[in-house]
Amino acid sequence: MADIGRKVILMEVCGTHTMAAFRYGIKDLFPPNLHLLSGPGCPVCVTANDYLDKAIAYARKEGVIVATFGDMVKVPGSSSSLAEEASNGAEIRVVYSSLEALKIAQENREKKVIFLGIGFETTAPTVASSILTAGEDKLSNYFVLSGHKIMPPIMRALAQDHELKIDGFICPGHVSTITGSKIYEFLSRDYGIPCVVAGFEPIDILQSIYLILSQIKSGQAKVENEYDRAVTWEGNLKAQALMAEVFKPESSNWRGIGKIEQSGLKIREKYESFDAEKRYPVSIEKSRENPGCICGDILRGLKTPLDCRLFRKVCHPSHPVGACMVSAEGTCAAYYKYSSA
């Protein structure tokens, strides 16, 4: 680092990396000129309020079961949360897999089961697969509210951000098992940013940082794969094909960041009988977020939770104001748990 002799800003774009970097004290090992920012890599955190408000509107309907990954339950929407709706009698089921949501639909044929499909390329193929299975099983009461997002467009937006000036990306390991490390090639080629796909052990993260710094030192910018025990250049072609069969890219709203073209996944017309928004549209109030919450700037790496006047005062895990405090992988939750400052 001393040889590089300037401030170096790296960003990890995966919530699991955020937590690992804190848990193992990796940030404490850095020299003062090395900075590690947490990016928009937690799907729950980047899900905007309009999506949550729709989920809440479904939960309020008679004869509806909302099935969701657990982290979504406590995230505050514009005026309520799924947890609050559950305490008012709504039927919310926490599932670990979309397959469990399918099972709930099979066992409750008289009800509509709305599965909250959120997550990046790691999770989207699993939900695509559940839609295909529902089709094969002729299940007519299983619907997905798709809030899936993909990484390349948001990483392009971050690379173009003049306020940020990112020198290197630690790329998400499990997204890459599906997409392959090839999806980051444009970042090194077009923006001159070194990219290293990393695993989740402390040694993986340290090794990836070393690889990025070595590239910077030698004036290179390329994609390297530190997580080669699970990730290949091409990725999981079958999962990619299933994802492309069921979903198509569309513009998507990111919490605090706004709309990014082609960064979300919409269910194709061919499968619209499983699309909650098409089959069973709901109207929602005008979405709003707490004006004091700076989740958006935190997700872009421009600020840290320590810059937020709500952090630890009115916003804490038992009373989260923003999504970054709710998710176990959120930057605010990580700071709350591991940072004493």
Partner 1 sequence: MCIAIPVKIIEIKGKLGIGEVGGVKRKVSLLLLDEVKVGDYVLLHAGFAISKVKKEEAEELLEMLASLDV
Chain residues binding partner 1 by CB under 8 A are 14-16, 41-44, 69, 71, 96-100, 118-120, 122-123, 125-126, 129, 132-133, 172-175, 177-178, 201, 229-231, 236, 238-239, 242, 327, 329
> Is 35:7 a contact under the CB 8 Å cutoff?
yes
CA 8, chain centre distance (Å)? 25
145: which strand partners?
116
- Closest distance between partner 1 and the C-beta of residue 62, in Å? 29
8 Å CB contact between 125 and 144:
no
- Smallest distance, partner 1 to C-beta of residue 25, A: 16
- Residue 8 or 119: which CB sits closer to partner 1? 119
Report in angstroms how near the CB of residue 123 gets to partner 1 at its nearest.
6
Beta bridge partners of 316: 319
Instruction: Spell out the SS3 assignment of 167-199.
Output: CEEEECHHHHHHHCHHHHHHHHHHHCCCEEECC
Report angle CA 284, 289, 290 to the nearest 5 degrees: 140
| Cβ at position 20, least distance to partner 1 in Å | 10
**Nearest alpha-carbon partner for 79 in 95, 59, 93:** 59
Q: What's the min distance (Å) between Cβ of 292 and partner 1?
A: 26
Pick 205 or 242: Cβ nearer partner 1: 242
Name the minimum Å distance from CB 165 to partner 1: 26
The smaller minimum CB distance to partner 1, of residues 139 and 175, is found at 175
Q: Which two tokens stand for residue 240?
A: 């990619």
- For residue 327, which of 123, 72, 39 has the smallest C-alpha distance? 72
Q: Which is nearer to partner 1, 8 or 325 (CB)?
A: 325
Which CB sits closer to partner 1, 116 or 321?
Answer: 116
Per the listing, tokens 């559950």 go with 86
| Closer residue to partner 1 in complex, CB, 304/327 | 327
Instruction: Pick the closer one to partner 1 by CB: 44 or 216.
Output: 44
Least CB distance from residue 207 to partner 1, whole Å?
13
Q: For residues 275 and 60, give the distance between their C-alpha atoms in angstroms, rounded to a whole number.
A: 18
Going 259 to 264 to 19 to 49, the CA torsion angle's sign is positive
Contact 45, 332 (CB under 8 A): no
Alpha carbons within 13 A on the beta-carbon side of 317:
12
